[in-house]
Amino acid sequence: MKSSEPEATLSRAHTLWTLAITSLALFMVVLDNLVVSTALPVIRVDLEATIEELEWTVNAYTLTFAVFLLTGAALGDRFGRKRMFALGITLFTAASAAAALAPSMDALIAARALQGLGGALVMPLTLTILSDAFPAERRGVALGIWGGIAGIAVASGPLVGGLVIEGIAWQWIFWLNVPVGLLLVPLAVSRLRESHGPDTALDLPGLALGSLGLLGIVWGLVNGNGDGWSSAGIVGSLAAGFALLVAFVVWELRTPQPMLPMRFFRNRAFSAANASALAMSFGMFGAIFLLTQFFQTAQGYSPLEAGLRVLPWTAMPMVVAPIAGALSDRIGSRPILAVGLALQAVGLAWIAAVSTATVGYGSLVGPFIVSGIGMGMFFAPMANVILSAVKPAEEGKASGANNAVREVGGVFGVAVLASVFSSYGGYESAADFNDGLVVATWVGAVVVALGALAALAIPGRLRASEQAVGEAAMDAA
C-alpha cells in the first residue's frame, strides 16, 4: 500500500500539470482566433486596409491552422508529442512578435499565417496529450474542462482585444502571447510525458493538395466581389481549388499512409459530427467577424465597449461547456449537440430579425445569450464523439481532422459572410453596414440550422460489443 501511494501522488501531479499546461496553450491558441476581431476597425484605419485584407488578417491564421493541423498530429506521432508541442509554442510565440512589429498589412498577414502554423502544431496535441494522461472513466470531465478553457478563450477574445487596444495599442494583442509562450516552453519540456503514435508517416502530397485546394477556394471567395465573380481569375481560382480538393480525396483513398484516412468518414458518428462542426464554426466566426465591426463602425462604440457587448454571447461557454461535458458521459452527445446548434441558429436568426443601424443593445442581449448557450453545448460533446468514433491509437488523427474541419468552417464563414455583406452593404454608412450584416447573419443562421440536422444523424451511445464490431469493420477496411 505504501509503495502505491507515492505512485498515485505522482500520477495525480502529472495529470494536474498536463491539464494546466495544455489548457494554457489551448487558451493562447484559441484566443488568437477571435482576439483580432475587435481590432479590425482600428487596423483598417491604421494600416489603410481593405475589407479583403481584413478577411485575410483572420483567414491567414485560420487557413494555415486548418491545413497543417493533420500534419501537426502526424509530426507528434513521429517525432514525439511533447517535442512538437514545445516546438509549436515556440513558433507561435515568435510569429506573435512578428505580428506585433508588422509595418504593413502584407507583413501582418504573413505573420498571422505563421501563427496559424504554430497553432496547428499545438492544438491537436493538447487534446491527445490530455487524453493520454487521464483514464477513460475521467475523460469526460477532463474534456469538459478542456472545452471550458476553449470557451473562456473564445469569450476573452473580443474583450481582451478591446481592453488592450483601448489601453495601449492594437499591436499588444500579439505581444501578450510572448511571455505566455516563454513560460510554457520550459514547463512543457520538464513536466509533460513524452509519447509517440503508431503512425510515423508524413503525407506530404496530401498536405500540398489539401492546402492548395483550400487556398484556391478561399482566395476566390475573398476576392470575388472586388474582382467580379465571372472574372477569369476568380473562376480559375475556384475551379482549381475544387479540382485540387477532389485530387486530395482521391490521393487519400489510394495512399497507404494518408494524413486523413477517408475510412473515418464511413463512421456515421464521425461524418455527422464533422458536418456539425463545420456548420457551427461557419456561423460563429462569420457572425462575430461582422458584429464586432458593427458596434464600432455603425454604432460608434470603442473597441472595449464593442468587446463588452458581445460578452453575453462569448462568455456563456465558460459556464455551459463543463456541464455539457459531464452530461455527455451520462446521456450521450447527440442530444446536447443538436440542441446546442439549434439554439445557436435561433440566436443568429434573432439577431438578423431585430438588427437595425440604431438597434438598442437591449434587443441583442437575448439572442447573444441564446447563441452563447448553444456554442457552450458544442465543444466537449463534440470531442467525445470524435474520440469515441476511432480507436485510441488513431485519436491524434481524428482530433486533428475535427479541428481542421472546424477551422475550415471558420475560414469559409468569414469569407462567405463577408462576401454576402459586401454584396448587400458596406462601410459607407451605418445603414449600409446594417443592410449587409442582416443578410449575412441570415445566411449564417441557415447554415448552423443545417448543422443541427446533421447532429441528429449521430448514433446513440454504442454498446461495447457494437463498438468492437465497428472497430473491427474499420480494421478490415
Same domain, 248 and 279: no
78 belongs to a structural domain = yes
Q: What is the mean pLDDT of residues 13-23?
A: 78
All three cell numbers of 128, joined, read 491527445
Residues 260 and 209: their CA atoms lie apart, in Å, by: 12
Q: CA of 155: how far to CAs of 56, 307, 372, 419, in Å?
A: 22, 9, 9, 25
Instruction: Give the integer Cα–Cα distance in Å for 157 and 210.
Output: 29
**Is 287 contained in some domain?**
yes
Residue 414 lies in a domain: yes
| Cα separation values, 78 from 60, 182, 200, 391, Å | 27, 25, 4, 18
Percent of the chain topping pLDDT 90: 17
Instruction: Count structural domains, the chain.
Output: 2
Domain holding 223, by residue range, is: 203-258
Q: Say if residue 129's pLDDT is above 50.
A: yes
21 and 49 within one domain: yes
For the cut 50, the answer to whether the pLDDT of residue 475 exceeds it is no
| Shared-domain flag, residues 362 and 385 | yes
How far is 201 from 340, CA to CA, in rounded Å?
A: 37
Q: Does 197 map to a domain?
A: no
Residues 79 and 219 in one domain: no
Beta-carbon contacts of 224 under 8 Å, excluding residues fewer than 6 positions away, are 234, 419
Percent of the chain clearing pLDDT 70 (strictly above)? 87
pLDDT of amino acid 17: 79
Mean of the pLDDT values across residues 66-93? 84
Give the per-residue pLDDT at 464: 36
Residue 57 counted as domain residue: yes
* Residues whose CB falls within 8 Å of the CB of residue 278, separated by 6 or more in sequence, listed in order: 405, 406, 408, 409, 412, 451
Domain stops at, among 242, 258, 274: 258
Question: What pLDDT, on the 0 to 100 scale, is given for residue 473?
Answer: 34
pLDDT range class, residue 360, cuts 50, 70, 90:
confident
Task: For residue 3, give Cα distances in angstroms to 13, 14, 15.
Answer: 16, 17, 19
Q: What average pLDDT score do residues 309-328 get?
A: 76
- Top-confidence residue, 152 or 342: 342
The 10s digit of each residue's pLDDT in 161-186 is 778 887 788 888 889 889 989 999 99
Tens of pLDDT, residue by residue over 371-412, are 888 888 887 788 778 777 777 767 767 777 787 788 788 878
Q: What is the 3-state secondary structure (H, E, C) of the chain?
A: CCCHHHHHHHHHHHHHHHHHHHHHHHHHHHHHHHCCCCCHHHHHHHCCCCHHHHHHHHHHHHHHHHHHHHHHHHHHHHHCHHHHHHHHHHHHHHHHHHHHCCCCHHHHHHHHHHHHHHHHHHHHHHHHHHHHHCCHHHHHHHHHHHHHHHHHHHHHHHHHHHHHHHHCCCCHHHHCHHHHHHHHHHHHHHHCCCCCCCCCCCCHHHHHHHHHHHHHHHHHHHHHHHHCCCCHHHHHHHHHHHHHHHHHHHHHHHCCCCCCCHHHHHCHHHHHHHHHHHHHHHHHHHHHHHHHHHHHHHCCCCHHHHHHHCHHHHCHHHHHHHHHHHHHHHHCCHHHHHHHHHHHHHHHHHHHHHCCCCCCCHHHHHHHHHHHHHHHCCHHHHHHHHHHCCCHHHHHHHHHHHHHHHHHHHHHHHHHHHHHHHHHCCCCCHHHHHHHHHHHHHHHHHHHHHHHHHHCCCCCCCCHHHHHHHHHHHHHC
Is residue 56 a part of any domain in this protein?
yes
Confidence band of 3 (pLDDT split at 50, 70, 90): very low
Question: How far is it between the farthest Cα atoms of the chain?
Answer: 75
Q: What is the pLDDT of residue 41?
A: 82
Same domain, 131 and 243: no
* CATH classification at residue 185: 1.20.1250.20
Q: At what angle do helices 379-388 and 334-354 cross, to 10 degrees?
A: 140
Higher pLDDT, 463 or 450: 450
Whether 325 and 251 map to the same domain: the answer is: no
Predicted confidence at residue 250, as pLDDT, reads 92
Q: Clarify whether residues 56 and 172 are in a common domain.
A: yes
> What tens digit of pLDDT does each residue of 179-217 get?
989 999 998 888 887 877 666 667 788 888 887 888 888
> In 3D, which of 190, 168, 174 has the Cα closest to residue 94?
174
Is the separation of the CB atoms in 381 and 320 below 8 Å? no
How far is residue 240's CA from residue 454's CA, in Å, rounded to a whole number? 28
pLDDT bin (cut points 50, 70, 90) of residue 91 is very high
CB atoms within 10 A of CB 115: 27
Q: Do residues 22 and 70 share a domain?
A: yes
User: What is the pLDDT, as a whole number, of residue 450?
Assistant: 94
With a cut of 50, say whether residue 247 has pLDDT above it.
yes
Neighbours of 464 (CB within 10 A): 7
The reported pLDDT for the residue numbered 36 is 79
pTM: 0.75
In terms of Cα–Cα distance, which of 282, 298, 306 is closest to 440?
Answer: 282
What confidence tens digit (pLDDT) does each residue in 262-284 have? 888 888 888 888 899 899 989 88
Residues 264 and 316 reside in one and the same domain: yes
Average pLDDT of span 416-436: 87
Q: Say yes or no: 312 and 333 in one domain.
A: yes
Nearest to 451 by CA among 404, 398, 413: 413
Query: What are 374's three cell numbers?
Result: 448553444
Together in a domain, 301 and 154: yes
Assess if residue 196 is contained within a domain.
Answer: no
- Residue 11 is predicted with a pLDDT of 66
380 Cβ contact list (under 8 Å, min separation 6)? 140, 143, 144, 146, 147, 148, 321, 322, 324, 325, 328
Average pLDDT estimate for 450-457: 90
pLDDT higher than threshold 80 for residue 225: no
Using alpha carbons, select from 346, 347, 273 the residue that is nearest to residue 313. 347
Dihedral angle, C-alpha 111, 113, 117, 120, nearest 10 °: 120
83 with 166, same domain: the answer is yes
pLDDT at 457 over 70: yes
Asked whether residue 165 is domain-assigned, the answer is yes
